[in-house]
Amino acid sequence: MKILMQNKLQDAVNKLFGDRIISKDLTDAYFNDFIKSGRNKALDNLEIMKKKPYIDCSTCAYFSLGGGDGAEIIEILKKSNISYGILLDIDSKATDRAREDWKKLNLPGKDLLIITGDATQQIRKCRNVLDKYRKDKKIVGVITSLQAVLHELPSRSPQFFLHSFLSDIVYDWDPFLLIIREPCPPDGWSEVVQIKIPSLPAEELKFVAEDVKRHMNNFYDLSNKTIGISDKIEGTVHVVGDFVSMSSILAIETLFKIFYLHDYNYEIEERLTALNPIGLIQVLEQFNGITCDRESFCTESFGRIYRKLKIEARNSDNPIGRLPMPNPFVRIVAERLTSFDDNIEDKYGIPTLPSFYIRRS
């Protein structure tokens, strides 16, 4: 019944909008960017790792959680001195592709374990494998990459509970580096905004926004699964001339769904703004020795489609000026280095322990 309803929803969306808003070529390009982005994420993570010279990557395993077709972790193993890697992803087609690509490389001294399965159900297995690597003296620490995974788990992963999930990731690894990249509420926008998409009449944009809001508020219960974000998307949706007024959170959710319009019935089942970066950092820093940094950004593919559709946004309280393109993504880098000696400040220019690990308020 659910599949039938989803198919009807997708048919209705296709019939209503067709290619008027976003052509399939543009959507395909967006998905191709997503595939290529695995390598780009690897390059970004390698740059982050280079900025942490006090972490000896050769003594660490690399854990790619939700790493899809393995493009990211394979690139990491190719271009770093890391010898052991684990890839976990629920998509069997993606992990099969990863196995094929890995076999073609035949990299001596490199080992990649590929696990297919749900993140919540398999995270403890991955932790145990990494722990065995450590007991066998193959590794000392762990570098973990979480790329656009956390926001999906509340609706797609049975028995997901954020605090328990993070405890298995952070565990007692030392040294430990965690690189998180997630969609989030927009940075730089006011609480209520007005949106205009020239190729979509305001009434139709209002229709999509209200449908997105209905699904986000009724599809699943986020209690005990996310941090700091209300379960409900508040506020009403109004047409204001060529613009549509709505909460900034709903605006971002609506734009993401429009960008994935040809897969609307899938995308409508997850909330991309369910994660509060500040709340996530507060939880991570409760674990012993963990400190975090964060930065907001906009991906190249999001920005390109935003510009292609000539989207305009303005503040509801000041409709004359235009709002800048939002930063609907966040990168959080968490680390634990409690085993280092007192010479760390002289060597690398960071404060001597233990003051380096005094938790920030």
Domains located in the chain, CATH noted: 2-357 (3.40.50.150)
pTM, full prediction? 0.83
| Order of strands, sheet of 327-336, starting from the edge strand that comes earlier in the sequence | 111-116, 84-89, 60-65, 141-147, 176-187, 327-336, 291-297
The share of the chain scoring above pLDDT 90, in percent, equals 59
Q: Tell me: the pLDDT tens digits for 132-168?
A: 999 999 999 999 999 989 888 887 887 888 889 999 9
User: 52: closest CA among 230, 172, 187, 178?
Assistant: 178
Residues 6+ apart with CB under 8 A from 25: none
pLDDT at 231: 64
How sure is the predictor about 220, in pLDDT bands with cuts at 50, 70 and 90?
A: low
Q: Give the whole-angstrom CA distance, residue 273 versus residue 154.
A: 12
Helix (H, G, I), strand (E, B) or coil at 215: helix
Gap between the terminal Cα atoms of the chain:
49
Q: Tell me: the pLDDT tens digits for 209-219?
A: 999 999 888 75
